[in-house]
Amino acid sequence: MKFFRILGRSIRDAFKSVGRNFSLSLASISCIIITLVIVAMSIVVSYNVENISNVLREDLTIVAFVSNDADEFVVKKLKLDIEDISNVDKVTFKDKSEIKNEMMKEDEAFENAMKTWDEEENPLQHTYLVKVKDIEEITETATAIKNLDGIDVVKYGEGMVDQLITVFKVAERASIIAVIALVLMTMFLIVNTIKLTIFSRKREISIMRLVGASNFAIKLPFVVEGMILGFLGSILPVIGMIYGYKTLYTYFGGKFFTDIIKLVRPEPFIYYAALIVVGIGILVGMLGSSRAVRKYLKV
């Protein structure tokens, strides 16, 4: 009970103090807002990148065209050889007549051109559709397949995949660096805000010490103040993130320019992300104020 009384008093004092040092509090809150906006964007981007990578992993297929010179034995042996490659997940064979039929169904022009082809005349090639386990090693896997006897050509959208992976990685690293730099800057500002509060309440603190308030009771209001600053700073980024992402999702119809890049559904993802942003705000505020209390509050 005593703990809750001290906590209640600390919360009351912390709110008073935020109001008393309003300009510095506002500076801290503004800095937290900027930090958390970047954090929120990073969370949204990295979760979507993760999602896109997963989708790509599921959708991306290496198409290996079997040479028309290969006999039936070579074609069958190729399946085993491809399956032996360590990064290969699943191998599916497609007969060239099956491909012809599918193409004829897709387009009338194809149908007119292909309907007269018999087995001998069909210039299409048997193909193996190969799924990989690790998308980042797709180039090596494709090369290994291409080197097999009986494989003519291998296609997997090589340029695009490599570029996408590079862009995602750069975006992820840049956002992590920006977040760390901003978190440090925010903590520095919070330390200074709390330092000012400590100085403005010097008399109060000295009386508290004299009358026998515990160190915990003396320190708590300042730590709570840091947490309040963090919480207040997280409100705008969270609102911006929830409405911004929902609007973006609706505007793009759930995908980002192409069908390959599908956005994560806003619910419940965005609410979990909001909780993380609020949590980070409070944590940064708490760490900043704890540091100031350790440094400037001699109790």
Partner 1 sequence: MEFIKFNGVTKQYKNGVVAIYDLNLSIEKGDFCYIIGGSGSGKSTLIKMLYREEKPTRGEIILGGLKVNKLRNSSVYKLRRKLGVVFQDYRLLPKSNVYENVAFALEAIGLKKRDIRPKVLKAIELVGLKSKLRDYPDNLSGGEQQRVAIARAIVNEPKLLICDEPTGNLDPVMSMEIVKLLEEINKKEGTTVIMVTHDKTIVNKRKKHVIALKEGHLFKDYKKGEYIDEIL
How many Cα atoms occupy the beta-carbon half-sphere of 296 within 13 Å? Answer: 22
Alpha-carbon gap, residue 45 to 53, rounded angstroms: 12
Side-by-side strand order, sheet with 61-66: 88-94, 127-132, 61-66, 151-155
Rounded Cα–Cα distance for residues 240 and 81 (Å): 53
Binding-site size, partner 1 (CB under 8 A): 19
Q: Which is nearer to partner 1, 2 or 115 (CB)?
A: 2
Nearest-approach distance from CB 287 to partner 1, in angstroms = 22
Amino acid (one-letter) located at 191 = V
11 binds partner 1 (CB under 8 A): no
Residues 178-237 that bind partner 1 (CB under 8 A): 203-204, 206-215, 217
Distance CA 215, CA 68 (A): 84
Positive or negative: CA dihedral 186, 192, 197, 198: positive
* 290's tokens: 């704890």
Smallest distance from partner 1 to CB 215, Å? 6
d(CA 247, CA 38): 18
Give 217 or 297: the residue with its C-beta nearer to partner 1.
217
Question: 115 vs 203, which CB is nearer to partner 1?
Answer: 203
Whichever of 19 and 268 has its CB closer to partner 1, that residue is 19
Residue with Cβ nearer partner 1 (123 or 212): 212
Least gap, CB of 210 to partner 1 (angstroms): 5
Least gap, CB of 209 to partner 1 (angstroms)? 7
Angle, alpha carbons 13-214-197 (nearest 5°): 35
Q: In whole angstroms, how close is the CB of 221 to partner 1 at the nearest point? A: 11
Cα 264 from chain centroid?
10
CB 153 within 8 Å of CB 145: no
User: Which residue number, 216 or 272, has a Cβ lying nearer to partner 1?
Assistant: 216
Cβ 227 to partner 1 shortest distance, Å? 20
The position carrying tokens 């087995």 is: 119
Q: How far is the CB of 230 from partner 1 (least distance, A)?
A: 25
The answer to whether 186 and 288 have CB atoms below 8 angstroms apart is yes
Q: Of 222 and 269, which CB lies nearer to partner 1 in the complex structure?
A: 222
CA 230 – CA 186 distance, rounded (Å): 10
Residue 193 and residue 216: Cα distance in Å, rounded?
Answer: 20
Name the site residues for partner 1 (rule: CB under 8 A): 1-3, 5-6, 9, 203-204, 206-215, 217
